[in-house]
Each structure stands twice: as C-alpha cells, then as structure tokens.
Structure 1
Amino acid sequence: MYTPHTPPLSGPPSTDSPPVGLSDRKPNILFILADQVSAPLLRIHNESSPIKTPHIDALAAKSAVFTSAYCASPLCAPSRSSLVTGLLPTKIGAWDNASPLGVDVPTYAHYLRREGYETVLAGKMHFIGEQLHGFEERLTSDIYPGDFGWAVNWDEPDRRLEWYHNASSILQAGPCVRSNQLDFDEEVMFKSTRYLYSTARRPPSARPFCLTVSLTHPHDPYTIHREYWDRYEGVEIPLPQVKIQAEQQDAHSQRLLKVCGLSDEEIPDEAIRRARRAYFGAMSYVDDNVGKLLHVLKECGLDDNTVVVFSSDHGDMLGERGLWYKMSFFEGSTRVPLMISDPRRLAPKYIHQNVSNIDILPTLVDLVNGSLDTRLPMDGNSLVPYLNGNANGMAKYDTVYGEYCGEGTIAPLMMIRSGNWKLVVCPVDQPQFFNTNNDPHELHNLATSTDPAIQEVFFSFMKEANARWDFTAIHNQVLTSQRTRRVCWDALRQGRFESWDYQPNEQASNKYIRSNLPLDELELMARYPPVDAMGREKPRGQAKGIAWGE
C-alpha cells in the first residue's frame, strides 16, 4: 500500500528550526481526539453557538487555536490514517473505512517512541488490519471493526450497502440511558484516567508519555444520555441555515443523499432539532470528559509539563444544505478544531492561516525537540513557527489539500484550500470554486463566473489540481484496492473467522492487592499523594514520581 515518493516542492519547513523553550525533561503529551466535531459549530469559533463547552473554551483560552484547520479526508479511517502519518490519503492508499494502513508507514507514535516516549492509545483509531502502528500499548479495543467489511464498491455505483449511514439516526434521535457510544467512551475514560494516575506514581526516571484519548462522541447516531439531553431543555435549537432542494444540489451531494438513504426521505423540522440537540448534548459530554482529563492532570501535578492537543477527524453537516454526517468538502464536514496548549511555553493566540490535521505529526515531533527522517515523505508541516509567533516564511504553507475516495463518490474527489479560496474537483462532476470569506455558506459556485479576475484565479487552481493529481491513475488504484479487498473478504468469511480487532492485554496478577508483596507495602505504593510509614503526607514536590516503598 505504501510506496516511497519524492516529497512535494511545497514540503514542510525543516524540523531543525529552534524549538520552543523546553525544560530538561521532555514534556508529556495528552492528545484528545473527538469524533465528527464540526469546528464552525463550536463556541470558540462562533460566539452565538448554543453548544455548552466550558472546559474546551477554558482550554482554548490558554492555547494556540487554529481557526482554519481542515481534515485530509472527510471520513473516519482515511482521515485518521493521514493524521497519524502526516501523509495524504493517496500516498498511503487510505481510500475508505476498510483500507489498511501499511505496517511500514511511520506514525507520530513511532516518531515519539523513538524519542523515548511511552506511546499509549485509548479509544478509537479505526485501524484496519494491524492495530498498533507504533503505539506501545492500547488500553481499549476499537469501537469499529478492523476488517475489510466496510469496503466501498465503485463497480456497483448504484448499489446502496446496508452498513452505510441512513435516516434512522436522524429520525430516532433523542435521549437514552445506554448506547454503544456511551459504553465505549466510558471505558476509554476509565482506562485513560487510570493510566494518568499510574504515571503520577512513577519514579522521576520514567519515560515521558504520549497518551492519545480518542472518544467516539459526538459521532452519530444522534443519541445521548438524558443528563446531557436535559442540559438543552428550554434552549433554542437552531435549524440549519441553508436549505437546498434535492434537485438543486450539486452532483456529489445528490449522490450523498442517495447513499445515506435521504433522497426520498422528508426529515421534519422536529426530527432535525432533536438530532441537533442530541449532537449538542454529545458535545457537552465530550467537554465534560475533556474537563475530567485536565482535572486529573492538575490533581496529579502533571499539568505544568504536559502538552495538550485537542482535535477531530472530520466534521458533521448536521442538516446544513440538507446533508448529514460528512463525506463532502463543505466547511461543516471538513473543518475541524485544532488547539495546542503548553502553558509554560506557548502564549495563547488565535492563528488564522489554513492548516491541516496532518500537521499534527511534525508539530509534536518538533515540540519535543525531536527529528523527522527528512529522507522520507511528509505532507504535513510543523506548526511550531506559528506557535512561537515566528511565522515568517510560512505564507507559502497557507494551502491545504483534501482527498476523498469513499462512499458517495464514484471517482476521486479532491480539494485545494488556499487563502480564502476553495476548489473542489472531481472528473465526473462540475468543479466547485468558492470564496469562503465572501461566501461562508458556499452558495455561489464561482467556477462558472464570467469575471476575468475570478476566472484567472479559478484556472490557476485547476492547473494545480491537474498537476498534483493523476485522476485516472488514482481511480484505477482505488478500483484495484476495492476488488482485491472484496476477494479477500469473501474468502475470510468462509469457515473460521479470525478477527483483527484489538484485544487489550491486562495482567490481573499485577493489579490491586496480590500476595507477592506485603499488604502495607502494596497500599503505600498505590496511594497518591504518597505518605510515609506514619501516615504523614510527603510534600507534592517530593511526592511526584516517587517509587513507593523506597
């Protein structure tokens, strides 16, 4: 799946640039990744938003916040594969939600582990096949299957597969007591906080950690525990701002409506409000969990030397333009939150240049004064110059790219976002060209403009698109990948099925109270903050990192 290539001319700045000031001990990293968070809906980007996220807002107040961050592909697995590798989907064959990531592709977990970090993952990453990709430990399984069952089939473009999104998530929206998502995220949070408490009890010589906490909320289905549903009792839930009739939609949007079972479904306003209310509640649930993680850091004295990153894999249209879920390059689907907090090193600021979540890998490596292997391909750019307020020379990196070859399209669908301009191009569709500053709702397709100045800009974008992507070759690669995976999947379902899903490895003999150590010694080792044999609490400065029983 992975073939080395020459880095693009617009490659990343050198990671040999001076890093932000670091203490002698490398900082810990807490990377919080939520699922399907639409940045334009958040209060940090939209003051009138009714979504209640006080913990995220507080984190933003002490972070570098990127207001124009985009995903590399508006679908879970391709976006995450690109995010962890810093490479665009076409470079790694990340076509759809059943595309495997090559075991020989370095991820940020590989790079940080090479720098001496303990790399740990709790939650969703939607890896297909191999399940670690540089993570030393996974604390949970994944919520989604790690097999080929969700492969797209462009050979049958009119066939709607049973596992695609459908209208039931919207029509059945509302409160619940339990759901798959709640079961999963509660396990993720329990394992994550337990891990953080454990790290606080380690000796000073222990390796720094990079803990990735990947929650599945606020991803559909649109249901949330009544506690969070009730937080929006009496709150005006706004309907989508843009309504477009199905027959007036662009070709890709019409296909999305069909593949999601929405073409012939009239969604009443009440169902739309209930779905959006559940999504808002799910965002508040995510926010509470962000607050919980930050509280544990502070409680354990880890907050002063931990870089905190918050982002998402893609957004959610939530009924805008009549569209739901993701799978398009409209702002609601493809623009994601991205903030980086390091209170001892970084001044809070808003950064408005276009960036991508594939920039996270080189940024993390740069932040810990590590190094990339510059002989290997890297599409992402380090954002540290922005964080340092030293963005001279970064203007040429104000361009990001998106690539989509999943459900709803029948040919490669690509995006170029540069400055205020956005081009969306697919060989079987009319190009779309927007100025998002003048037209934030992307209602006026300037690809057909007769204005000579606009035509000149549009043709320059089209020239870059055709130079960057060989659409015929990519189409053939996608078809070959889909066909080979169907052959394998058809075979693997016959006889005994061997799952690739990750099975967490827990050693019960190393937990809680066991007979291999004296009981008093066990209790002292597990207690935080530590006390001496007389029950006197040790000063926090001495306590942090003490190996109990010494």
Structure 2
Amino acid sequence: MPAKRPNILFLMADQMTASRLPVYGHPLVKTPHLSRLAAEGVVFDSAYCNSPLCAPSRFTLMAGQLPSRIGGYDNAADFPADTPTFAHYLRDAGYLTALSGKMHFCGPDQLHGFEERLTTDIYPADYGWFVDWERFDERPTYYHNMSSVTQAGPCVRSNQLDFDDEVTFRARRFLYDYARNGESRPFCLTVSLTHPHDPYTIPREYWDRYEHDAIDMPRVPYSRELMDPHSRRLRHVYQLDEDTVSDAQIRNARHAYYGAISYVDDRLGEVLTTLRECGLEEDTIIVFSGDHGDMLGERGLWYKMSWFEDSARVPMIVHAPQRFAPRRVAESVSTMDLLPTFAELANDGVAPDYAAPLDGRSLLPHLTGGGGHDEVIGEYLGEGAIAPLLMIRRGRYKFVHSAPDPDQLFDLEADPRELTNLAETPEHLDRCRAFRDEIARRWDYARLHEAVLASQRRRQLVARALMKGKVTPWDHQPMVDASTQYMRNTIDLDDLERRARFPVVDIEGA
C-alpha cells in the first residue's frame, strides 16, 4: 500500500436496492458513472445493511456496532455522543472529516466526529418519530403510507430535489476549497443523497430516460400465500389493502424510482468530475454504498423494514484501481464492516486500538484478494415489528427469527427470490436448530425485547414534553461566514481572486 495516506470519498444513496443497478444485472437502469466505478473497482455482490431502516442502519454503519449495542433501535433512537464513529477514528488519525447530506442523527449531537457538516439534514433530529410496540394498532401519522405509490409520477420540483442539489453543490465546493486552500491533511468526505428514497417522483428529464412500457413489474407479485406474519404487519403499517394500488400505479412508482437512480448517478458524477478536476482522484479511495434497499412492490411489499433481499441488500463498490485490482466479491459482508475498513485504510492497513468493541470486520482481506469473512448479522427493531427480528446470513443460507413468528430459512443459491421457506422441512431441521442455538448464544432475547420497550417509553415521554412550551430544536444549522467568502473591503481584491482561482496562475511564467 502506498505510504501516503489516501483521501476517502464515501458516496451514499438512500433506499438504493442493489438489484435495480446494472452492475448487479438489471438490464434497463442507466448509471454510467457508477458503472465506471464498478468496472474499475471491487464490487461486492452480497452486501447487506445490518438493520433495514434509515437511522439504525446509519448508526450501525457509522459505529461498526449492532443496533442493540448502541441503542439504535428505530428512526427516533438517540445516537449516543460517546459512541465512537468512523469520523472520530479518522479525525483522531489526522483526517479532515466532513459530511454533506443525510445521516439521520437523532439527539443533540449532530456531528458525531465530523469536523464540518456542510448541510442540514432532511429529517428531524428529535425523538418525535418514536415507535410503540405496545400499541401496535395505534398507527402514528409519520409511518409510511401508500401515497408515495398512488401519487407516483413526474414532478417539476420536490423537497428531496432541493436537498440533494444542495448536497451535491456543497460537496463540490468542499473539494474545490480543499484543493485551493492548501490543506495538508487527507480528507474523509461523506456525500449522502436522499434519492432514490420515496416519494416516487422525479423531474421529466429523468422520467423520460425510460420508456414507460419497458418498466419491469415485480418478479414476485403479491399473493396471500407469501404473506408471513411480519409481511402482513408491514402492509398494515403502510395501509396497504389488496385493492389499494393498481398495476399502473406500481409501474409509475418503479418508473420514477429508476429515474431517481439516474438522478443520483448524475449528481455523483458531478462530484467525481470535481474530484478529477482538482487532481485528487488518484489519491482518493472512493466507496459507494447505501443504507438499505426498497421492495418496490416485490411480494406485495414496499419500502424496507424486512430481511427480504430487495429490502436488506445494498450496493457496495470500492474504487481504488492503483491499490486494489478490479474484482467481484461473492462472500456476504455488511455496511457495519466499513468502520474497521476505513480505520485500517487510514492507518497503513493496520487496525488501530479501538475504544469500543466492534461487531464489523475489515474488508481489506476481500479488497486485496486474500479471502475474508462470509457472514452478516442483522437486527430489525423498528415499526412493523412487535418483537426483535433477527437475521443471520452465512454461506448460501439466510435465517430469520422473531419469537412471535415462525422461523424463516432460505437457500439463496437455489432460491434467490426466497419463495420457499425451508425452516420446517425435515432435511433442514438440524440446520434450523443450529441457527436457533446460535441466536440464543448471541442475544439475550428477552432482555433485548425489554430494552427496546423501555427505550420506546422513555422517548415517547421526552418527545411529548419537549414539544410543549418553547421548543429548542436539535437540527444542525450550517453557518457560512459570508464576510470572507466573496469580495469585501477587508480583503484585497487581488488576494481574494488569487486564492479563489484554481489552479493557481503562474504569473512569472505568463
């Protein structure tokens, strides 16, 4: 590995399911920039999130620890300020750490190790989106409903477009400033877009990149026979009855989602162009991934919140052709593995002394072709559940356990669409028993269940109380010092224009 410590550019897309990308075999979706990264990089064919919901997935990714270890249960869970993140480790190692975009931090700390946060977040930082397992039938208004599907189609503008355009601009501005300001530290810049997350709407430019009649419909359409108890609860949560959506609305939603993927590719392409223009590409390791997927109507399900492949599997690409030869990795890994990977990349390939136990494992053995682990551990503790929903993916098998429900076992090599639950078949009874024994060793299930309920009760009270009287928001408010940004009478015009221009003009050689 070269002696110079590399920059790290971490690109994220929200709710980006791996199966819709051409790098994973989709024949229709267009992503030239991501496809270039994949062709020149290391592609992980079996990468997963560790909790298929925005905030807990991101907390786990940032901390390298499972939700149960850090209390990151749902989209209103507090992310403790004393939890070390990859931003803390890299900053401690001498990196300039910056975030442009979404990370869905909940709680008063809105930086979590980032030295600079270039935008606000698109989602609230308080506990208002709490989950209540003890009152399952009392559905809060902030839960997903089906309006994203029934109203799917083109738009001129949206809240998410406003956000992602700003995220892209701020990220590019960061790279320009880094190049022209003479910063000596390597950087770790996280650029996190909120597309292609629903609502399923996108400008006509991106809608028109796809022929509507060519949009593929779900490979596994809804049927009552496929509805396990958790799937039925999810359909209840987002108010989906058998006659709620039509085939036309399903096709519209998928069409808009594909357009949103192309929008993401264009925005990330702009960031990559800026990286190249600034002469930073060769010294930068580029990582692309996401927080979870989207069912997009498969099995009659939408959004995320389950352990089925389209919900839990995410893209993962590492682009550093001067360091890692292009290849594909078949073993199962997870976004929780990114913290130890980033920490080792910043430390000449050596693991630092971690301040807290990690559940993630470094991807460097995979990146260098030296083998590596083949296992993903997952926990889902959010809306739609009534008890912890635990998952183990190892080798060709995926095992899902929740105490109130029948177990699920899928052979993903023989049955990639997860149509046949093998948990009760005689030839797999020993395998299921071994998985159950492993779950009993890994988790104190009853204690975890009670810890989630206790957290829900506390946050419900705090959320109610803090909305009464004077409200003090926790949301990050980015500040820009305009007095030094453009021309002011405290700055010499020639000095300002010289330091703002990149590359610097060689006056003597002119």
Aligned partner of 1:545 in structure 2 is: none
C-alpha distance in 1, partners of 2:344/2:320?
13
Aligned partner of 2:298 in structure 1 is: 320
Whether contact under 8 Å (1:107, 1:361) holds in the other structure is yes
C-alpha distance in 1, partners of 2:356/2:442?
19
Provide the TM-score with structure 2 as the length reference. 0.97
Aligned partner of 2:389 in structure 1 is: 413
C-alpha distance in 2, partners of 1:377/1:292?
37
- Which of 499, 505, 518 is the equivalent residue of 2:473? 499
Distance 1:517 1:442, change over 3 A: same
Would you say 1:105 and 2:83 are equivalent positions? yes
Whether contact under 8 Å (2:340, 2:361) holds in the other structure is yes
Secondary structure, aligned partner of 1:430: coil
Q: In the TM superposition, what are the counterparts of 1:2-41 in structure 2 within 5 Å? A: 21-23=1-3, 25-41=4-20
Q: Structure 1: 5+ residue runs without aligned partners? A: 1-20, 537-550
C-alpha distance in 2, partners of 1:34/1:292?
15
**RMSD of the alignment, in Å?**
1.3
- Which of 459, 466, 480 is the equivalent residue of 1:485? 459
Would you say 1:511 and 2:485 are equivalent positions? yes
C-alpha distance in 2, partners of 1:493/1:515?
44
Distance 1:136 1:449, change over 3 A: same
- Which of 439, 444, 450 is the equivalent residue of 2:415? 439
Aligned partner of 1:389 in structure 2 is: 369
Secondary structure, aligned partner of 2:233: helix
C-alpha distance in 1, partners of 2:338/2:454?
30
Residue type at the aligned position of 2:38:
A
What is the CA distance between 1:244 and its match in structure 2?
3.0
Residue type at the aligned position of 1:164:
Y
Whether contact under 8 Å (1:30, 1:307) holds in the other structure is yes
Aligned partner of 2:188 in structure 1 is: 210
Aligned partner of 1:132 in structure 2 is: 111
Would you say 1:346 and 2:324 are equivalent positions? yes
Would you say 1:177 and 2:156 are equivalent positions? yes
Q: In the TM superposition, what are the counterparts of 1:37-116 in structure 2 within 5 Å? A: 37-46=16-25, 48-116=26-94
Aligned partner of 1:279 in structure 2 is: 257
Secondary structure, aligned partner of 2:189: strand
Secondary structure, aligned partner of 1:385: helix
Would you say 1:475 and 2:449 are equivalent positions? yes
C-alpha distance in 2, partners of 1:177/1:148?
32
Secondary structure, aligned partner of 1:510: coil
- Which of 337, 346, 351 is the equivalent residue of 1:368? 346
What is the CA distance between 1:534 and its match in structure 2?
6.2
Residue type at the aligned position of 2:476:
Y
What is the CA distance between 1:374 and its match in structure 2?
4.0
Comparing 527-536 with 126-135, which one deviates more in the overlay? 527-536
C-alpha distance in 1, partners of 2:508/2:199?
53
Residue type at the aligned position of 1:387:
L
Residue type at the aligned position of 2:10:
F
C-alpha distance in 2, partners of 1:455/1:515?
79
Secondary structure, aligned partner of 2:23: coil
Whether contact under 8 Å (1:175, 1:226) holds in the other structure is yes
Residue type at the aligned position of 2:356:
L
Provide the TM-score with structure 1 as the length reference. 0.90
- Which of 134, 139, 145 is the equivalent residue of 1:166? 145
Aligned partner of 1:10 in structure 2 is: none
Whether contact under 8 Å (2:294, 2:304) holds in the other structure is yes
Residue type at the aligned position of 1:258:
H
Whether contact under 8 Å (1:254, 1:263) holds in the other structure is no
Secondary structure, aligned partner of 1:216: strand
C-alpha distance in 2, partners of 1:245/1:389?
42
C-alpha distance in 2, partners of 1:318/1:63?
28
C-alpha distance in 2, partners of 1:372/1:97?
30
C-alpha distance in 2, partners of 1:77/1:341?
26
Whether contact under 8 Å (1:30, 1:309) holds in the other structure is yes
C-alpha distance in 2, partners of 1:223/1:371?
43
State the Cα deviation string for residues 412-461 of structure 1 (Å, max 9, x = none).
0000000010001000000000001100110100011022xx22222111
What is the CA distance between 1:535 and its match in structure 2?
8.2
Residue type at the aligned position of 2:133:
W
Once the two structures are aligned, what percentage of the paired residues are identical? 54
Aligned partner of 1:256 in structure 2 is: 234
Aligned partner of 1:142 in structure 2 is: 121
State the Cα deviation string for residues 208-231 of structure 1 (Å, max 9, x = none).
111100000000000011110111
Would you say 1:459 and 2:433 are equivalent positions? yes
Residue type at the aligned position of 1:496:
K
What is the CA distance between 1:248 and its match in structure 2?
4.6
Whether contact under 8 Å (1:167, 1:265) holds in the other structure is no
Residue type at the aligned position of 1:311:
S
Secondary structure, aligned partner of 1:347: coil
Aligned partner of 1:227 in structure 2 is: 205
State the Cα deviation string for residues 483-511 of structure 1 (Å, max 9, x = none).
01111111111101110000002111120
C-alpha distance in 1, partners of 2:226/2:29?
30
C-alpha distance in 2, partners of 1:146/1:234?
38
Q: Structure 2: 5+ residue runs without aligned partners? A: none
Residue type at the aligned position of 1:133:
H
